[in-house]
Structure 1
Amino acid sequence: SLYKSWNTNAKTTHIYLIKSKKTTKKFERNLGNKIMNIDGVQSVTFYSSLQKNFKDMISSISYIVVVLVISAACLAFVVLYNLSNVNISERKREIATIKVLGFTRKEVDAYINRETVLLTILGSLIGLVIGVGLHHLIMNLAEMDDIMFGRTINSMSYVISFVMTIGFNAIINLCMHKKLNNIQMVESLKAVE
């Protein structure tokens, strides 16, 4: 056992840390009752109860993390969709011109979507770098005196977030395929800017 004491207001406080191989509830209850019967003992705390409380707290935080991830995924989807929609809407005349010049549907898609894919990849990489700093900041703010959160990010988390963003971009490009095909060459070229 480990012994530690300090003096506060001329009153000595003793704290004993006892290590036991048994951690069953029955053993801890019996040991706690025996220790509490000793004169001067004010409290008994077992790490198993602290561990259980910590696991309960972490499980509730896990739900919050899931909600945040789903919200971020929805936000990414909406932002990418609007970016592609505005890009196509503002470039109708240009798209009509390249259709008139004989570009195939596949070439028109590649011409328009290449820019969006490049911006998505660049944004994802910058977001991953900024995310590391935000993670450290949040972990520092969320910590309490008796609980410390891990600061390491699993490398698979980077891969999953990057793949999800690229996947959203691919889905949006498929959705925009129909809009690109519906651009009428003659009306778009006649439209006044």
Structure 2
Amino acid sequence: MSEISIVDNVLQLLKQNTKFTGSSHLFKFYDKLNTFYGTHENFSVCNEENNLVVQSCPAIEEIMENWDDGILSLFNSPDIDSSKLCDYTFYWLYGKLVEYNFKISNISLVYNKLSSFMKDKCFKGKDEIFYIKKVYDLKELKNKKELYDFVEYSKYLKDIWNDGIGDNKKKYCGYTKYIFELYKEMERKNVHQYISMK
């Protein structure tokens, strides 16, 4: 079983678990954004070049236009604040950039398009955090999203493991092992980059 299929298998299992789908804010958020904005047509044009200019990106434009009345009102809850919704949006976007295999130049243009919006809505007075969240390497985007999703989902996994059948427990265990290995790999890479900068 490959690493990608471990993540995909577990996500499919989680989607079938009503306790998870009803409780996980991140899952509900991704599901709504995928329903409203995540279609192929909305994102494929964002990665096409026409006369060396990236086409307008309807999904991103709609999210920005509908932030207050759409995203914030849909997910208004005492359990979740607007900064968490900003994080969810970034990680959802990371997934779309990977899914549609965005070129680095187009990732940069997407970030530039979002820059003033995200600074005003999500990172007011926290510019250093905003710039940390900009990632251009597709593998790193994928890794960061998988790790973030696991951390957000982990509070539900323990209950699901206890309720699950044997084969599913093996899949959840494989998923957890994969994520821990991914974390160690990312940590090693960061330490190596830090040492090489000295």
TM-score by length of 2: 0.26
Instruction: Name whichever structure is richer in helix by fraction.
Output: 2
Asked which structure has the greater CA Rg, the reply is 1
TM-score by length of 1: 0.27
Instruction: Name whichever structure is richer in strand by fraction.
Output: 1
